[in-house]
Chains A and B, each alone.
Chain A
Amino acid sequence: MDKLLRSNVSRLLKKLSEHAEIYAPTMEDGVCVLSKLVNNYDDWTLDYVRTTNSVKDIFFPQNEEIMRYKNANNDLNIEPPKPFKERVAFGVRPCDAAAMLLLDNVFLEGEFYDSYYKERREKGALITIACEKPDQYCFCTSFHSSPGATEGSDIVLYPADDYFLVVAVTDKGKKLIKANAEIFENATEKSGIVENYKSMKTPIGNNCSPGELNEKLKNEFDNPYWKKIARRCLGCGNCTFVCPTCHCFAVCDVARGCDGKRTRTWDSCKFQDFFLMAGDHNPRPTQVERTRQRFMHKLNYFKEKYDKYQCVGCGRCVEKCPVGVHIADVITHMKEEL
């Protein structure tokens, strides 16, 4: 096993930046954001439970150009974007790394794949840091995960005194360590550090583990509970934007004379016009249908399609909902009621 001294992290990031964009947790106006480091590779922090934005941003950004076009004199040319750069995300949490595997299901499986996402994933590496202090919003253990889980990560760093124990999870992770071997050291001491992280409980613990809830929810389309919780929903969309697994987007053309670009932007099933069709038909016209759609998607439809729940228990939507509509409560309520 290797170890990485905390005092060597900046050196590692600087070295990796020679061929890759580096993203790390940084403090901005008192908020911890996963953002791109430019020039200052000391700018990372360990003072966070979860970054405000998830690692999703780096592979499926909030807004991106999907193509450009020029249509002068009826000669239409359409160009996809230029190739993306290599990228390393440092300080990812295990829940967010697990969420990437769910996005992989959506964007890489089936008849089609998403070219933008695929290229970024292939050119990306996730260096995860296990969680030392999960807070009251965390419930990753409800989804067969833990503060020390490795699923979805290329490398996991387990915080110890003044260093991290290093576990290379994938070949990509092993290569990254090998290519930067001079920055890592051999960890000689045998310790149960990794196991301690893996067996650590989150405060909500396993209480809201959905189990076989998806089966029961099949018959709960008209359950009055959806109406009850939808009454509080403000339709702000916070929950979907901070979610590391939500993947809905809108496509928008921006024209300027003969030139233009097509962009895609995160969108939200909580918004009134999200499902609105030309001709004004809206199959989910009120917050009741849209609230049901969000939870049924995560707890039933996604599970039917991919055999996984579309939630990793990161706690962001729980933390950010202004009116206390919590997926953990939904799971607990439905489990008790059904």
Chain B
Amino acid sequence: MCSSHNQLVPKVATIKKIAEETSSGDVKTFYVEFDCPKERAEFNNMPGQCAMISVLGVGESMISITSSPTRPDPLEFSIKKMGKVTSALHDFAEGQKIGIRGPYGNNFPADEWIGKDLVFIGGGIGLAPLRSVINYCIDKKESYGSITIIYGSRSPSDLCFKEEIFENWPSVEGVKVHLAVDKIEEGEQWDKSIGFVPQYLEQISPSPDNAIAITCGPPIMIKYVLESLEKLKFKDEQIITTLELKMQCGVGYCGRCNIGDKYVCIDGPVFSYKQIKEMPQEF
């Protein structure tokens, strides 16, 4: 059934497939299709944008769209079990119905990066929003220089998108993937690096010349990654990251996600380090 154009009323969608990303089961990727093809056609998402996902009777959460518009169907959302809505969603089975509205917010300005080298730095579930723009740039690889992906998580079992990080991405010419974990348990197999993402980034030391660095992860990781990028002589306007605050409407009305006069839901979630430095430090 196709419904109204009312922004706060979600469209009906079906979960076509659910994939466990981590062995602890705290991150799942939901493959979703709109029930009404017209509503899908009107959902013109760009990499980095988000959508409000409804579990009817429980509530809504703003979730980043992890699939790239260059690979439009199904839409993919990788969701960590955190609060009420995401926990309810984790109990869902394939074939069940959810509500979606969006896309919301700005996007990674990938079209402004044409001709540049790209350095993606992700931590944990923070790779989910980056994945949309990584695949977008890989699909238009001829437009970009080298692509460096630095990704870390607590342990090998917490790494998301294993097929892509181990197989698909490294096999693309001009794409390098560097993986690290905070620690490994006894008996765990791991032949990549061990250590925290910021230090690992400094070790890899990508050049800032004609480059853009894009980072997303836990706030504490972002904080130290930004410091490391400064050490590597990346300028503020060469560094792109995302912010996240509590949202209930997604369209700039409910008053929760402001930082100064910016609303993360409509003016974000993507900001340059330059923009972030100009904001009140309250996030």
Which among A76, A114, A116 is the interface contact of B99 at CB below 8 angstroms?
A: A76
Q: Indicate if the CB atoms of A289 and B282 lie closer than 8 Å.
A: yes
Minimum distance in angstroms from A9 CB to a CB of chain B: 35
Q: Which residues of B contact A67 (CB under 8 A)?
A: 6, 8-9
A304, B263: Cα distance in complex, Å: 12
Q: Which residues of A contact B9 (CB under 8 A)?
A: 66-67, 78, 80
Dominant SS among interface residues on chain A:
mixed
1/0 contact trace for B90-126 toward A, CB 8 Å?
Answer: 0000011101000000000000000000000000000
B82 beta carbon closer than 8 Å to chain A: yes
A288, B234: Cα distance in complex, Å: 35
Q: Which residues of A contact B261 (CB under 8 A)?
A: 300-302, 304-305
1/0 contact trace for A104-115 toward B, CB 8 Å?
Answer: 001100111111
1/0 contact trace for B233-252 toward A, CB 8 Å?
Answer: 00000000000111011011
A267 beta carbon closer than 8 Å to chain B: yes
Q: Indicate if the CB atoms of A277 and B254 lie closer than 8 Å.
A: no
Q: Indicate if the CB atoms of B282 and A284 lie closer than 8 Å.
A: yes
Q: Which residues of B contact A114 (CB under 8 A)?
A: 7-8, 251, 253
Minimum distance in angstroms from B103 CB to a CB of chain A: 11
A210 beta carbon closer than 8 Å to chain B: no
1/0 contact trace for A234-262 toward B, CB 8 Å?
Answer: 00000000000011111111010000101
Q: Indicate if the CB atoms of B245 and A253 lie closer than 8 Å.
A: no
A74 beta carbon closer than 8 Å to chain B: yes
A114, B249: Cα distance in complex, Å: 10
B25 beta carbon closer than 8 Å to chain A: no
Q: How large is the interface on A (under 10, 10 to 19, 20 to 34, 35 or more residues)?
A: 35 or more
Identify the stretch in B53-61, B145-153, B163-171, B172-180 within 8 Å (CB) of chain A at 4 or more residues: B53-61
CB nearest neighbor in B for A119: B6
Q: Indicate if the CB atoms of B3 and A251 lie closer than 8 Å.
A: no
B256 beta carbon closer than 8 Å to chain A: yes
Which among A79, A113, A301 is the interface contact of B258 at CB below 8 angstroms?
A: A301
A224 beta carbon closer than 8 Å to chain B: no
Which of B10, B96, B254 gathers most chain A CB within 10 Å? B254
Q: Which residues of B contact A77 (CB under 8 A)?
A: 1, 12
Q: Indicate if the CB atoms of A80 and B57 lie closer than 8 Å.
A: no
Q: Which residues of A contact B85 (CB under 8 A)?
A: 278
A255, B261: Cα distance in complex, Å: 35
Q: Using known A-B contacts A67-B9, A301-B261, determine if residue A112 contacts B251 with beta carbons closer than 8 Å.
A: yes
Which of A251, A284, A297 gathers most chain B CB within 10 Å? A251
Across the A-B interface, the 8 shortest Cβ-Cβ residue pairs: A278-B83, A248-B255, A255-B57, A76-B97, A304-B261, A301-B261, A115-B6, A278-B82
The 7 listed contacts between A and B (C-beta, < 8 Å) are A69-B57, A76-B12, A78-B12, A79-B3, A80-B4, A112-B252, A275-B256
